[in-house]
Structure formats: structure tokens, C-alpha cells
Amino acid sequence: MLKHRGFPGRLSGTDYHFTIRRPGKKGATRLIARVRHADRRPADRKADAAFLAALWHHFGDRPFPRGNLDAGRLSWLFGREVIPAEEPFDPESYDALLKIDPGKARAAFPEVFDGENSA
């Protein structure tokens, strides 16, 4: 499992984790597209935005391996702002390649991209 050096481990001051420390004994947790309801708590939305900002800062629009990124946190963005970067895609692989869809990411989390020129 690739560890993304320099990537924040969690949202500062919270228990919202962005990375995992070690691979699971049964393999990687399956990535799923979780439904984000409009009534989500502000803290959850803030964690999603901070995680997307960290992904954007670290990888930009380039493909990146899943590695030690937390499956739960990824699943809140998966299928919308974060999409597979390869076919076939294995949602249970630490080596699976992902990428950010900049258009959908900007639309869903404009605060992450404030002050940036549109691509």
C-alpha cells in the first residue's frame, strides 16, 4: 500500500480521518458512491471540502493511486468529484487509480477553488 507522504492524516482538531496507517487484513475496503443528502451536518461538509482541497493540492487533475487514502472519506466524493482514472477499475485495490473531475468538484465545493483561475 502506497503511503502518500505529506498528505494530511485528518482534519485538524477532529476525528475525521483522511488516511489509514496500515492495510486491512482482508484487503482494501471497497469504494462506493455514498449519497450526500442536503441536510448533512456542517462538520461533515467541512471534512469533505478539506479532503477535496488536500487532494487537489496534492494531485491536481493528475491521476493518483488510492494508496492509504481513507475509503470512507473517499466514498463521500467517489463517483462525482473523484472518479476512476482507469478501466477496468478495481474498487477494492490500494493500487487503483483515481482522479478529480475539476468541473464537478468546482460546482460542488466552490470554496475549495476560490481565488483560482478557472481551468
Report the pLDDT value the prediction gives residue 117, as an integer from 0 to 100. Answer: 56
Q: Is residue 24 part of a domain?
A: no
Report the pLDDT value the prediction gives residue 61, as an integer from 0 to 100. Answer: 92
Residue 75: helix, strand or coil by DSSP?
Answer: helix
pTM reported for the whole predicted model: 0.87
Q: Is residue 4 part of a domain?
A: no
Number of domains in the chain: 1
Q: Is residue 9 part of a domain?
A: no
Report the pLDDT value the prediction gives residue 115, as an integer from 0 to 100. Answer: 66
Helices (H), 31-113: 42-59, 71-75, 102-108, 110-113
Q: Is residue 31 part of a domain?
A: no
Residue 61: helix, strand or coil by DSSP?
Answer: coil
Q: Is residue 78 part of a domain?
A: yes
Q: Is residue 30 part of a domain?
A: no
Report the pLDDT value the prediction gives residue 119, as an integer from 0 to 100. Answer: 46
Q: Is residue 94 part of a domain?
A: yes
Measured CA to CA, the distance from residue 64 to residue 6 in angstroms comes to 14
What residue type is 28 in one-letter code?
A
- How close are the terminal C-alpha atoms of the chain, in Å? 32
**pLDDT tens-place values along the chain, 119 residues long:** 888 888 888 888 888 889 888 777 777 889 999 998 888 899 899 999 999 999 999 999 999 999 999 999 999 999 999 999 999 999 999 999 999 999 999 999 999 888 665 44
Q: Is residue 20 part of a domain?
A: no
Domain span including residue 73: 42-113
